[in-house]
Amino acid sequence: MASMRDIKRRRASIQSTGQITKAMKLVSTVKLQKSRTKAESSKPYFDMMYETIALMLSKSGNINHKYLRAGSTEQKAVIAITSNRGLAGGYNNNIVKLIVGSAELKPETTKVYAIGRKGRDSLARKGYQIAEDYSEVINEPIYQDASDLTAELLDAFGRGEIGEIYLAFTSFKNTVVHTPTLIKLLPFTMEAAGADQEEAPKAQALMNYEPNEEDVLDMIIPKYMSSLIYGALQEAVASENGARMTAMDAATSNAEEMLGKLELQYNRARQGSITQELTEIIAGANAIG
């Protein structure tokens, strides 16, 4: 049996760990609330964007636009949104697993545009080529970040360096449910956009385009991508904080459970030592008497 001093020391250490996890939980709860409001307020823009694009494509049938065709190269790009910090349960690992496990994204032909240090490091270890690193962005994502990234990706797409663009992020359903999601950004297809086809916007009178359809698509698809990336960033931040909150909550309750067990052990050890002392004294007294 461990000595009383050992148990005491162990108990103190667990107690301070528990305090830290508890504080982290509180912090991420507050952060979660903030990031959740942000994620929700970026939703209408994205929804409208999707509706507009869906309307355009459903109306205009088979437009042969450069963003609607896959590039000729095998190279693919994936934007991997993870976090810069750990201690968030399986949050980062799930994204890495999603990318590694997908049939399209082989390490040899995939360039990673990493947002978040944790994902970047794990993917680099798995043999993926890290094309760019935007890890600072995840601390405080703004729309400009998303549109810069879009511009860069479209540039590479236009030069023929990459043929397909994917986005891997954690979608935020509610405080406890976050789903790692992989979607195809380019070439743009309606199915990939994630919403169900049935919900296609109600048939409207024929839409006119100014200056013309091609130019408008040229303009809108990058904006659509930016809004998708921006939305993904916001949701990822909310998910990260949600995941951390859950993980820290579990850690705190584990610490409490362990403290309870150690308390029992400590009392037993204390009782044991008192009994022993008494036995010794009595034995001593008997020997003298």
Partner 1 sequence: MADVMKLRVITPEKRFYEGDVSMVELTTTEGNIGIYPDHIPLTAVVAPGAMKIHEADATKEAALISGFITILPDVVTIMAETVEWPDEIDFKRAEEARLRAERRLSSPDSNLDVLRAEMALKRALVRLEMKH
Chain residues that interact with partner 1, rule: CB under 8 A: 38, 41-42, 44-46, 48-49, 52, 55-56, 143, 146-147, 204-211, 215-216, 219-220, 223, 226-227, 230
Q: Which is nearer to partner 1, 115 or 255 (CB)?
A: 115
84 secondary structure, DSSP code: S
**Minimum distance between the CB of residue 117 and partner 1, rounded to whole angstroms?**
25
Q: Are 191 and 50 in contact (CB under 8 A)?
A: no
**Minimum distance between the CB of residue 170 and partner 1, rounded to whole angstroms?**
19
Q: Which is nearer to partner 1, 91 or 224 (CB)?
A: 224
> How many Cβ atoms from other residues are within 10 Å of residue 156's Cβ?
19
Q: Which of 4, 21, 63, 62 is nearest to 250 (CA)?
A: 21
> How many Cβ atoms from other residues are within 10 Å of residue 103's Cβ?
5
Q: Which is nearer to partner 1, 64 or 204 (CB)?
A: 204
Q: Which is nearer to partner 1, 174 or 208 (CB)?
A: 208
**Minimum distance between the CB of residue 58 and partner 1, rounded to whole angstroms?**
13
Q: Which is nearer to partner 1, 205 or 288 (CB)?
A: 205
Q: Which is nearer to partner 1, 108 or 210 (CB)?
A: 210
Q: Which of 130, 142, 150 is nearest to 226 (CA)?
A: 150
**Minimum distance between the CB of residue 40 and partner 1, rounded to whole angstroms?**
10
- Where residue 87 falls (left for φ over 0; alpha for ψ -120 to 50; beta otherwise) is left
Q: Which of 279, 276, 286, 205 is nearest to 3 (CA)?
A: 276
Q: Are 115 and 138 in contact (CB under 8 A)?
A: yes
- The vertex-14 CA angle with 9 and 19, nearest 5°, equals 130
Give CA 57 to chain center in angstroms: 31
Q: Is 74 helix (H, G, I), strand (E, B) or coil?
A: coil
> How many Cβ atoms from other residues are within 10 Å of residue 272's Cβ?
12
**Minimum distance between the CB of residue 142 and partner 1, rounded to whole angstroms?**
9
Q: Which is nearer to partner 1, 75 or 226 (CB)?
A: 226
**Minimum distance between the CB of residue 50 and partner 1, rounded to whole angstroms?**
11
